[in-house]
């Protein structure tokens, strides 16, 4: 399980807190650099008839833009830059984790929960900023008998507060489980040798393809759930 180990690259302590630059932070910097350089390279010419890289960049832009419009509406387009950045960041971190001897940042609950908590707080602030104290009506289902309200309000509040947990655990658990499975079957290839190792190797090849799909899907799910939470804050439904 050493692939999930956090290693301090540059030890640093600030006011008694460990603020060391770790391998996790390094791969987040690498992901940000890859996204920035890829975008600049793809759009360096800005041709009317796009080339391959420009087409990929434009398709990515359109894909996320449609996601925001379909789930939040045109009012949500002002938050498109954040959701687009979030999607690309999580996707790049997931894909970098598929490179042998690299580090999967999203396999750590501390990272995914930090992202989810930031989204949760931001969406809640937007809800109160737009609706004021009326945002609390979101926790009161309409058309419910008065005698049932105390129970349902508690259920709605608990459901709302568990959002950052479910959002973070879904991404963390999928990435960690997939990489652990690859590691286990990788050890089978070595242990079984030429006689039986080919079966484990064939499974690893197929499972690697599945993991690439999961890496994309988890970034998509993370982004689309952010859109759904944002829609709740803006439209109260």
CA–CA separation, 38 vs 48, rounded Å?
A: 19
The model carries a pTM of 0.88
pLDDT tens track for 147-198: 888 888 899 899 999 999 999 999 999 999 888 888 887 777 777 777 777 7
Tracing tokens 């460990």 back to the chain, one arrives at: 18
- Give how far Cα 82 sits from Cα of 86, 117, 119, 206, 227, Å: 6, 15, 10, 34, 11
Q: What is the rounded CA–CA span in Å between residue 227 and residue 75?
A: 12
pLDDT tens figures, 143-160: 778 888 888 889 989 999
Q: Are 73 and 16 in contact (CB under 8 A)?
A: no
Give the contacts of 236 (CB within 8 A, at least 6 positions apart).
127, 131, 135, 137, 138
């Amino acid at each position: 399980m050493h692939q999930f180990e956090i290693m301090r690259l540059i030890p640093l302590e600030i006011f008694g807190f460990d603020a060391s630059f770790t391998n996790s932070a390094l791969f987040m910097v690498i992901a940000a650099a890859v996204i920035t350089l890829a975008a600049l390279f793809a759009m360096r010419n800005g041709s009317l008839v796009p080339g391959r890289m420009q087409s990929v960049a434009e398709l990515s832009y359109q894909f996320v833009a449609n996601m925001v419009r379909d789930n939040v509406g045109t009012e949500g387009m002002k938050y498109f830059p954040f959701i687009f950045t979030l999607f690309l960041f999580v996707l790049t971190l997931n894909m970098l984790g598929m490179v042998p001897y690299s580090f999967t940042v999203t396999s750590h609950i501390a990272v995914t929960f930090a992202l989810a908590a930031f989204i949760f707080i931001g969406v809640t602030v937007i809800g109160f900023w737009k609706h004021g104290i009326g945002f609390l009506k979101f926790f009161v289902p309409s058309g419910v008998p008065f005698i049932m309200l105390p129970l349902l309000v508690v259920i709605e509040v608990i459901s709302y507060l568990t959002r950052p947990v479910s959002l973070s655990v879904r991404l963390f658990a999928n990435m960690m489980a997939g990489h652990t499975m690859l590691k286990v079957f990788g050890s089978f290839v070595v242990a079984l040798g030429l006689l039986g190792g080919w079966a484990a190797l064939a499974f690893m090849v197929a499972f690697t393809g599945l993991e690439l799909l999961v890496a994309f899907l988890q970034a998509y799910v993370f982004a689309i759930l952010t859109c759904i939470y944002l829609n709740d804050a803006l439209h109260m439904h």
